[in-house]
Amino acid sequence: MNIAKIVRQNLSSLRDYVPGKPIEEVQREYGIKDVIKLASNENPNGASPKAVQAMMNEIQNQANFYPDGNCFALVQKLAKKHQVSDTQIFVESGLDGVITLLGSAFVEPQDEVIISLYSFPVYESMVTKMDAKSVMIDQTADFRIDIESIAKAITPQTKMICLCNPNNPTGTIYTREVFESLLAIVPEDVLIISDEAYYEFADDATYPQSMQYLEKYPNLIILRTFSKVYGLASVRVGYAIGHADLIGALLKVREAFAVNRMAQVGASAALDDDAFVQKTLEANRAGRQKYYEAFERLKIKYYPSQTNFIFFEVSGSGMEVYQAMLKQGVIIRPLASQGLPHHLRISIGTSAQNNRAIAALEKALI
């Protein structure tokens, strides 16, 4: 069998997404029992207790029933939270799922999608799956999304612009001023995707509050997730907020039961757990500062972050530093696969995890 004649040709150029290495894999490979994972920006405080209890109740009492395919209760709650109509909310299995369906609903083979070079790789994957063209735009010298260059790259073939703010993996933001300058010049038939997976962590006063632009710019779609600040990465809940007509198009391409029952009730309960969110944000700020002090002491170049991770640079091979830390039972994220051989990303963990990671990093640099 010649598989090349069977599989769609454009998939041959589809690059595999490289997730953070699982704890279990490191335990098997290195024979280390005590392993910490600071590679995937998960919530080190666990999940919202209210969400956990709601999911336990659901699986005990309702596991034999299909979920509500329309996520009615969760959609209603999100609409109330964001002060929009329920027709403006789309819930899907993880933010990756939302991004994939953005391609299915809107991107055709002749289209161009503008993407920042060092950003979430799922955007480029979505474009490749649709056999369209990714237009990659370099970032600024301080690893910020270059809004001015993105604006200049718009052509009659441009269908979509994918923005990640705060950006993953660099942790940087673009400001309200530059975002408004882009909104003002993008044609109304070009979609602006504002991926805000790390929205809750951003505390810079210049960070744009994108919700306030929805009414004026119907081509804007905002993406949020329950995986980070709410600690629900395992159950996969992401959502989009946008014009009702755009949300209607997404609903046409979704699977019938995309979001399971436990995920729906867990996400809904998490929205009521302000205390957990506040605890997470406070611990994250303290951990972020601890890393800054350690990087300065170790003379490591780092980039101030608006997220729950920090992007940093070493003089030698980032992969070698990554491997040296693996051998000490600490998993972080090398970025060579994204064209950054000297850069790494480390998630902010608990205080004890941060102390251990700093010690491991210092040893890895010797």
Q: Cα-flanking dihedrals φ and ψ of residue 92, to 5°?
A: -145, 170
- What's the CA gap between 132 and 234, in Å, rounded? 30
> Of the residues 270, 286, 319, which one is the last residue of a structural domain?
270
User: Are residue 208 and residue 253 in the same domain, yes or no?
Assistant: yes
User: Are residue 146 and residue 284 in the same domain, yes or no?
Assistant: no
Q: To which residue do tokens 């003379």 refer?
A: 299
CA dihedral 281, 285, 290, 295 (to 10 degrees): 120
> Of the residues 222, 250, 270, which one is the last residue of a structural domain?
270
Q: To which residue do tokens 């960070």 refer?
A: 207
- CATH number for the domain that contains residue 357: 3.90.1150.10
**Residue 35 three-state SS:** coil
Q: Cα-flanking dihedrals φ and ψ of residue 96, to 5°?
A: -60, -40
The answer to whether 137 and 149 are in contact (CB under 8 A) is yes
DSSP lists the bridge partners of residue 347 as: 309
R_g of the chain computed on alpha carbons: 21
Please count the CA atoms within 13 angstroms of the CA of 31 that sit on its side-chain side. Answer: 0
User: Are residue 200 and residue 96 in the same domain, yes or no?
Assistant: yes
User: Are residue 15 and residue 144 in the same domain, yes or no?
Assistant: no
Element counts in the chain: helices (H) and strands (E): 12, 13
User: Are residue 119 and residue 241 in the same domain, yes or no?
Assistant: yes
The answer to whether 265 and 54 are in contact (CB under 8 A) is yes
The answer to whether 345 and 325 are in contact (CB under 8 A) is no
User: Are residue 17 and residue 84 in the same domain, yes or no?
Assistant: no
Q: To which residue do tokens 């923005």 refer?
A: 163
What predicted TM-score, i.e. pTM, was given to this entire model? 0.95
Total domains present in the chain: 2
List strand residue ranges (DSSP E) for 18-142, in order: 36-37, 89-92, 112-116, 133-137
- What's the CA gap between 86 and 80, in Å, rounded? 8
The answer to whether 336 and 320 are in contact (CB under 8 A) is no
DSSP lists the bridge partners of residue 302 as: 312
User: Are residue 59 and residue 195 in the same domain, yes or no?
Assistant: yes
User: Are residue 18 and residue 140 in the same domain, yes or no?
Assistant: no
DSSP lists the bridge partners of residue 116 as: 137
Q: To which residue do tokens 């209890």 refer?
A: 53
User: Are residue 136 and residue 260 in the same domain, yes or no?
Assistant: yes
Helix axes 318-326, 351-364, angle to 10 degrees: 120
- What's the CA gap between 4 and 66, in Å, rounded? 37
Per-block mean pLDDT, blocks of 10 residues, the chain (366 long)? 80 76 89 95 97 97 96 98 98 97 98 97 96 97 97 98 98 98 97 98 97 97 98 97 98 96 98 98 98 98 98 96 96 96 98 98 94
**Residue 343: closest CA among 366, 297, 298, 312:** 312
The pLDDT of residue 1 is 82
DSSP lists the bridge partners of residue 114 as: 135, 161
**Residue 202: closest CA among 179, 233, 181:** 179
> Of the residues 242, 270, 298, which one is the last residue of a structural domain?
270
The pLDDT of residue 244 is 98
User: Are residue 202 and residue 165 in the same domain, yes or no?
Assistant: yes
**C-alpha torsion sign, points 244, 248, 250, 255:** positive
Residue 143 DSSP label: S
User: Are residue 170 and residue 298 in the same domain, yes or no?
Assistant: no
Domain range spanning residue 55?
A: 49-270
DSSP lists the bridge partners of residue 312 as: 302, 344
